[in-house]
Structure 1
Amino acid sequence: MNHDTKPSRRGTGVVSTHAVCGAPCWVSLTSRDLQATQDFYQAVLGWQWRRARLGDRFRIALVDGAPIAGIAAVASMWQMAVAWTPYFAVPSADDAVARVQERGGTAAVGPISLPPGRAALLADRDGATFGVWEGELFTDWETWRKASPAFIRLHTRDAFDAAIFYGEVLDWARERPGCVEVRYEGDEVVLRSHGQIVARIESGALESAPDPTIRPHWQIHFRVADVAACARAAEQHGGSVLREDAEEAVLRDADGAQFTVTSRREV
């Protein structure tokens, strides 16, 4: 969820969700312990922090001064899972929520007003959690894309079925400027916005799998300079390494949230 409510107009990129309709525009982490979360991600990813307007339980992560992610220490208080969640830009949060419910998904929170916009936390019909954001982005889209969140990937039961669900909810593949383009490449779905690959959808996850790493979920990939150094830092600060190779590592933070660090620009 967008934990700050002040839009930034630095740079020349997009500041309205209308211009990047259906594209990922923010990532957010629900955690239990705010200080421990800040310490972990500062050690592993080098993030700096500033307070958010929503209160003492919220922080904004910064990379080179640019806001790139939100942290909300509300998992215990609101009985929410500890997890990273991507948010997608929509022209109307109300319409997106209605479409999710009509297609068998779930509305967990919202839409709620967070001036200058509105947000909702949702789940698709296979249980993967995502959010939508309507209104102004609080940092321009190009700045956000370049700062650190390189990519998101949906691991799901059926990539093509999921692409239809999200396409209908988020207005993908519409003949309008800025809308997300959808292409089927081999066994996966590739999503582009303004010429950039912004997400992929792949099959293979199991709806009822006991292991949360193979249940349907959106995985956040952060671009880093040194994958191995991030993995070692995660282990040293209470996290764990689930998988690692030269270009990429799947990590779990000290609170249990899963994310990926990658040396690749697009994955």
Structure 2
Amino acid sequence: MLVAADVIGAPCWLSLAARDRKAAERFYGAVLGWSFQQGRFGRAFSVAEADGVPVAGIGAVAGEFAVPVAWTPYFAVEDADAAAARVGERGGTVGVGPVSYPPGGRAALVSDREGAAFGIWDGGVLAQWSVGADRSPAWLELHAGNAFDAALFYGEVLGWGEGDGCCDISYEEDQVVLRRDGQPVARLNSGPVEEAAPKPQLRPRWLVHFKVPDLNRAVALALENGGSKVTDAEWGSTGQMTLRDTDGGLFTLDQSDHLGNRTAD
């Protein structure tokens, strides 16, 4: 575990709120080849690993807390209470927390001005965990009505682009690219959004992209194991596919070299 100045503001964890933890483990184990270890927060939680490296957390909490089944990215902050206050001051919403977790961390579930949910984490960060380009297993995409307004919000809340902070942002055509140590870790996109059904996938949201060596094979495995394609999403391109897991959680599969080729140009 580590806490360092250059970690603050960076993506530091991914968490799935599921209804059935075992079903989620079977699905993502089949599609992504993950193995699972018991989580430290109780029987309802587990930690997914890829080649022995922690990748994400799964918690059977969607039913208990009446929250949607969804993947949520967490960002490291120096002070969870101060970061939550900045969220509220800048027009976002604090949904849960900050609350304390052993051994000494504090977390909150919040949303930005457009309603996209994300988490903040104040505590130790796994040194071997990573998100973004190269060999990391995942990267992030914000689907927003206005990527530039969103970049201002997250920059002020998480300290992006400030001094010796973790991350730099660049404005490239109609998108914002977040980089850490020169590597792209997230993209903020402008596009059409809807506030309500019938297309909840078009609501502003953080979408998690998992990189796979063979996209066609991974999609086939997802469908064989009860997943479904999202055919009317307004994002995506060649080399990726947005799906729902067996519980309805949205995620995207990407050919493993896709992000580096697309955002580092």
> TM-score normalized by structure 1?
0.89
| Equivalent-residue separation in structure 1 for 2:222 and 2:170 (angstroms) | 35
| Equivalent-residue separation in structure 1 for 2:135 and 2:34 (angstroms) | 11
CA-based RMSD of the aligned residues comes to 1.9
The answer to whether the Cα contact below 8 Å between 2:230 and 2:244 also exists between their aligned partners in 1 is: yes
| Equivalent-residue separation in structure 2 for 1:160 and 1:124 (angstroms) | 13
> TM-score normalized by structure 2?
0.90
Matched, 1:262 2:249: no
The answer to whether the Cα contact below 8 Å between 1:157 and 1:207 also exists between their aligned partners in 2 is: no
Mark the runs of 5 or more structure 2 residues left unpaired by the alignment.
Answer: none
| Equivalent-residue separation in structure 2 for 1:79 and 1:142 (angstroms) | 30
| Equivalent-residue separation in structure 2 for 1:92 and 1:159 (angstroms) | 25
Sequence identity (%) = 49
Q: Which of 31, 43, 46 matches 1:59?
A: 46
| Equivalent-residue separation in structure 2 for 1:165 and 1:156 (angstroms) | 12
Any residues of structure 2 matched to 1:62-141 within 5 Å, and which?
62-114=49-101, 115-141=103-129
Aligned partner of 1:249: which letter?
M
| Equivalent-residue separation in structure 1 for 2:135 and 2:19 (angstroms) | 26
| Equivalent-residue separation in structure 1 for 2:209 and 2:34 (angstroms) | 15
Q: Which of 152, 160, 172 matches 1:172?
A: 160
Mark the runs of 5 or more structure 1 residues left unpaired by the alignment.
Answer: 1-6, 8-14
1:105-152 per-residue CA deviation (whole Å, 9 max, x = no partner) reads 111111111224211110111110000111211343459976643310
| Equivalent-residue separation in structure 2 for 1:186 and 1:72 (angstroms) | 38
Per the alignment, residue 171 of structure 2 pairs with: 184
Q: Displacement, 1:95?
A: 1.0
The answer to whether the Cα contact below 8 Å between 1:91 and 1:134 also exists between their aligned partners in 2 is: yes
Aligned partner of 1:165: which letter?
F
Aligned partner of 1:223: which letter?
K
| Equivalent-residue separation in structure 2 for 1:249 and 1:180 (angstroms) | 27
Per the alignment, residue 205 of structure 2 pairs with: 217
Q: Which moved more, 1:214-223 or 1:133-142?
A: 133-142
The answer to whether the Cα contact below 8 Å between 2:39 and 2:45 also exists between their aligned partners in 1 is: yes
Per the alignment, residue 163 of structure 1 pairs with: 151
The answer to whether the Cα contact below 8 Å between 1:17 and 1:91 also exists between their aligned partners in 2 is: no
Per the alignment, residue 227 of structure 1 pairs with: 215
The answer to whether the Cα contact below 8 Å between 1:155 and 1:201 also exists between their aligned partners in 2 is: yes
Per the alignment, residue 251 of structure 1 pairs with: 243
Q: Which of 219, 225, 232 matches 1:237?
A: 225
1:2-57 per-residue CA deviation (whole Å, 9 max, x = no partner) reads xxxxx3xxxxxxx3253222111111100000111000001111100000110000
Distance 1:46 1:238, change over 3 A: same
Aligned to 2:108, the other structure's residue is in SS state strand
| Equivalent-residue separation in structure 1 for 2:249 and 2:222 (angstroms) | 12
Q: Which moved more, 1:16-25 or 1:179-188?
A: 16-25
Q: Displacement, 1:205?
A: 3.6
Distance 1:137 1:147, change over 3 A: farther
Aligned partner of 2:193: which letter?
L
Aligned to 1:53, the other structure's residue is in SS state coil
Aligned partner of 1:261: which letter?
L
Distance 1:207 1:100, change over 3 A: farther
Q: Which moved more, 1:243-252 or 1:36-45?
A: 243-252
| Equivalent-residue separation in structure 1 for 2:204 and 2:161 (angstroms) | 23
Q: Displacement, 1:103?
A: 1.2
| Equivalent-residue separation in structure 1 for 2:135 and 2:32 (angstroms) | 12
Per the alignment, residue 5 of structure 2 pairs with: 18
| Equivalent-residue separation in structure 1 for 2:126 and 2:182 (angstroms) | 22
| Equivalent-residue separation in structure 2 for 1:104 and 1:45 (angstroms) | 37
| Equivalent-residue separation in structure 1 for 2:179 and 2:8 (angstroms) | 11
Q: Displacement, 1:241?
A: 1.5
